[in-house]
Amino acid sequence: MTLLFKRLGLCIALSIALLSSLFIPTFSASAAPIPATAELAVEFSLPKIDSSMYARPYVAVWIENSKRKSVRTVELWVGKDEWLKDLRSWWRKVGRYDRALVDGVTSATRPAGDYRFTWDGLDNDGNRVEAGKYTFYVEVVREHGGRNFIRQKMTLGDKPFSHTIAPTEETGDIRINYLIK
Protein backbone atom coordinates (compact mmCIF):
# COMPACT_ATOMS: atom_id res chain seq x y z
CA MET A 1 0.00 0.00 0.00
CA THR A 2 2.83 2.40 0.83
CA LEU A 3 4.43 1.80 -2.59
CA LEU A 4 1.08 2.53 -4.26
CA PHE A 5 0.77 5.86 -2.40
CA LYS A 6 4.35 6.81 -3.31
CA ARG A 7 3.68 6.10 -7.00
CA LEU A 8 0.38 7.96 -6.85
CA GLY A 9 2.08 10.90 -5.14
CA LEU A 10 4.79 10.94 -7.81
CA CYS A 11 2.17 10.92 -10.60
CA ILE A 12 0.29 13.81 -8.96
CA ALA A 13 3.51 15.81 -8.52
CA LEU A 14 4.49 15.26 -12.15
CA SER A 15 1.00 16.22 -13.32
CA ILE A 16 1.06 19.44 -11.30
CA ALA A 17 4.51 20.31 -12.64
CA LEU A 18 3.38 19.68 -16.23
CA LEU A 19 0.16 21.68 -15.85
CA SER A 20 1.89 24.60 -14.16
CA SER A 21 4.43 24.79 -16.99
CA LEU A 22 1.54 25.13 -19.43
CA PHE A 23 -0.11 28.01 -17.57
CA ILE A 24 2.83 30.01 -16.24
CA PRO A 25 3.90 32.48 -18.90
CA THR A 26 7.43 32.23 -20.11
CA PHE A 27 9.26 35.25 -21.40
CA SER A 28 11.51 34.84 -24.39
CA ALA A 29 14.29 37.27 -24.98
CA SER A 30 13.74 39.14 -28.21
CA ALA A 31 16.40 41.00 -30.11
CA ALA A 32 16.67 44.70 -29.60
CA PRO A 33 15.40 46.91 -32.39
CA ILE A 34 17.87 48.50 -34.78
CA PRO A 35 18.93 52.03 -33.75
CA ALA A 36 16.27 54.71 -34.20
CA THR A 37 18.65 56.64 -36.45
CA ALA A 38 19.41 53.68 -38.75
CA GLU A 39 18.38 53.71 -42.39
CA LEU A 40 19.19 51.82 -45.56
CA ALA A 41 20.08 54.18 -48.41
CA VAL A 42 19.69 52.69 -51.88
CA GLU A 43 21.25 53.97 -55.11
CA PHE A 44 19.64 52.24 -58.04
CA SER A 45 20.03 52.74 -61.77
CA LEU A 46 18.08 51.62 -64.80
CA PRO A 47 20.29 51.54 -67.90
CA LYS A 48 19.28 52.99 -71.23
CA ILE A 49 18.51 50.05 -73.49
CA ASP A 50 18.34 50.67 -77.22
CA SER A 51 15.46 48.63 -78.52
CA SER A 52 12.57 49.38 -80.83
CA MET A 53 10.26 47.59 -78.37
CA TYR A 54 11.61 49.18 -75.19
CA ALA A 55 9.14 49.41 -72.32
CA ARG A 56 9.83 50.81 -68.88
CA PRO A 57 10.49 48.03 -66.39
CA TYR A 58 8.32 47.03 -63.45
CA VAL A 59 10.37 47.12 -60.24
CA ALA A 60 9.81 45.74 -56.75
CA VAL A 61 12.24 46.32 -53.86
CA TRP A 62 11.54 44.62 -50.54
CA ILE A 63 13.16 43.36 -47.33
CA GLU A 64 12.68 39.91 -45.75
CA ASN A 65 13.70 38.68 -42.31
CA SER A 66 15.69 35.51 -41.58
CA LYS A 67 12.47 33.49 -41.66
CA ARG A 68 11.92 34.64 -45.29
CA LYS A 69 8.91 36.73 -44.29
CA SER A 70 8.53 40.08 -45.98
CA VAL A 71 8.86 42.92 -43.48
CA ARG A 72 8.64 45.87 -45.87
CA THR A 73 8.01 46.64 -49.52
CA VAL A 74 10.24 49.66 -50.06
CA GLU A 75 9.49 50.51 -53.71
CA LEU A 76 6.97 49.24 -56.25
CA TRP A 77 6.97 50.72 -59.76
CA VAL A 78 4.18 49.33 -61.92
CA GLY A 79 2.06 50.94 -64.63
CA LYS A 80 -1.23 49.08 -64.12
CA ASP A 81 -2.51 46.65 -61.51
CA GLU A 82 -2.82 43.89 -64.11
CA TRP A 83 1.00 43.89 -64.43
CA LEU A 84 1.67 43.28 -60.74
CA LYS A 85 1.71 39.52 -61.34
CA ASP A 86 4.64 39.95 -63.73
CA LEU A 87 6.77 40.65 -60.66
CA ARG A 88 6.44 36.94 -59.88
CA SER A 89 8.61 36.57 -56.81
CA TRP A 90 7.32 39.69 -55.10
CA TRP A 91 3.71 38.89 -56.09
CA ARG A 92 3.85 35.36 -54.66
CA LYS A 93 5.44 36.51 -51.40
CA VAL A 94 3.66 39.80 -50.76
CA GLY A 95 1.42 41.34 -53.39
CA ARG A 96 -1.43 38.90 -53.71
CA TYR A 97 -2.01 38.87 -49.95
CA ASP A 98 -2.15 42.55 -49.09
CA ARG A 99 -4.16 44.83 -51.37
CA ALA A 100 -3.90 47.80 -49.00
CA LEU A 101 -0.11 47.54 -49.04
CA VAL A 102 -0.08 47.43 -52.84
CA ASP A 103 -2.24 50.53 -53.02
CA GLY A 104 -0.04 52.31 -50.48
CA VAL A 105 3.35 51.78 -52.16
CA THR A 106 2.68 51.53 -55.89
CA SER A 107 3.97 54.30 -58.12
CA ALA A 108 4.49 54.73 -61.85
CA THR A 109 7.24 53.02 -63.81
CA ARG A 110 10.40 55.07 -64.31
CA PRO A 111 12.56 55.80 -67.36
CA ALA A 112 16.26 54.92 -67.58
CA GLY A 113 18.24 56.89 -65.02
CA ASP A 114 19.64 56.99 -61.50
CA TYR A 115 17.38 56.80 -58.47
CA ARG A 116 17.87 57.13 -54.73
CA PHE A 117 15.54 56.14 -51.95
CA THR A 118 15.79 55.08 -48.33
CA TRP A 119 14.23 52.51 -46.06
CA ASP A 120 13.68 53.86 -42.56
CA GLY A 121 14.01 50.50 -40.79
CA LEU A 122 10.28 50.19 -40.12
CA ASP A 123 8.17 47.19 -41.06
CA ASN A 124 4.88 47.43 -42.97
CA ASP A 125 3.06 48.06 -39.66
CA GLY A 126 5.30 51.01 -38.72
CA ASN A 127 7.36 49.13 -36.10
CA ARG A 128 11.16 49.30 -35.99
CA VAL A 129 12.61 45.94 -37.04
CA GLU A 130 14.78 43.92 -34.70
CA ALA A 131 18.52 43.67 -35.17
CA GLY A 132 19.43 40.53 -37.09
CA LYS A 133 19.78 38.94 -40.49
CA TYR A 134 17.74 40.21 -43.45
CA THR A 135 17.71 39.94 -47.22
CA PHE A 136 17.38 42.87 -49.61
CA TYR A 137 15.50 41.93 -52.81
CA VAL A 138 15.08 43.64 -56.17
CA GLU A 139 12.95 42.23 -58.96
CA VAL A 140 13.00 43.96 -62.35
CA VAL A 141 10.84 42.83 -65.27
CA ARG A 142 10.46 44.48 -68.66
CA GLU A 143 7.85 43.66 -71.27
CA HIS A 144 9.70 42.45 -74.39
CA GLY A 145 12.84 42.45 -72.27
CA GLY A 146 14.56 40.65 -69.46
CA ARG A 147 13.77 39.56 -65.93
CA ASN A 148 16.24 39.96 -63.10
CA PHE A 149 15.90 38.79 -59.52
CA ILE A 150 18.56 40.13 -57.18
CA ARG A 151 19.16 39.43 -53.50
CA GLN A 152 21.72 40.59 -50.98
CA LYS A 153 22.03 39.17 -47.47
CA MET A 154 22.72 41.73 -44.76
CA THR A 155 22.92 41.99 -40.99
CA LEU A 156 21.22 44.99 -39.43
CA GLY A 157 22.45 46.15 -36.05
CA ASP A 158 24.62 48.91 -34.68
CA LYS A 159 27.38 48.73 -37.32
CA PRO A 160 27.10 50.51 -40.68
CA PHE A 161 27.96 48.69 -43.93
CA SER A 162 27.89 49.07 -47.71
CA HIS A 163 27.31 46.59 -50.52
CA THR A 164 27.52 47.09 -54.26
CA ILE A 165 25.52 44.66 -56.35
CA ALA A 166 26.86 44.08 -59.87
CA PRO A 167 24.86 45.27 -62.89
CA THR A 168 22.46 42.91 -64.62
CA GLU A 169 20.74 42.98 -68.00
CA GLU A 170 18.00 45.26 -66.60
CA THR A 171 19.85 47.17 -63.86
CA GLY A 172 23.01 49.17 -63.41
CA ASP A 173 24.98 49.05 -60.17
CA ILE A 174 22.85 48.88 -57.04
CA ARG A 175 24.44 50.27 -53.89
CA ILE A 176 23.02 49.75 -50.44
CA ASN A 177 24.44 51.68 -47.50
CA TYR A 178 23.28 50.94 -43.96
CA LEU A 179 23.81 54.15 -42.03
CA ILE A 180 23.59 55.03 -38.35
CA LYS A 181 23.19 58.81 -38.18
Q: Which segment of 105-114, 121-130, 154-163 scores lowest on mean pLDDT?
A: 105-114
With a cut of 70, say whether residue 24 has pLDDT above it.
Answer: no
Confidence of residue 129 (pLDDT cuts 50, 70, 90): very high
Decide which of 93 and 116 is more confident.
116
Confidence of residue 63 (pLDDT cuts 50, 70, 90): very high
Q: What is the mean pLDDT of the chain?
A: 83
Question: Is domain 38-180 in CATH 3.40.50.10860, yes or no?
Answer: no
- 38-46 β-sheet, strand order: 113-119, 38-46, 174-180, 161-165
> Which pLDDT value is given to residue 70?
93
Nearest to 163 by CA among 171, 117, 115, 155: 155
Q: Helix and strand tally (H, E) in the chain? A: 3, 9
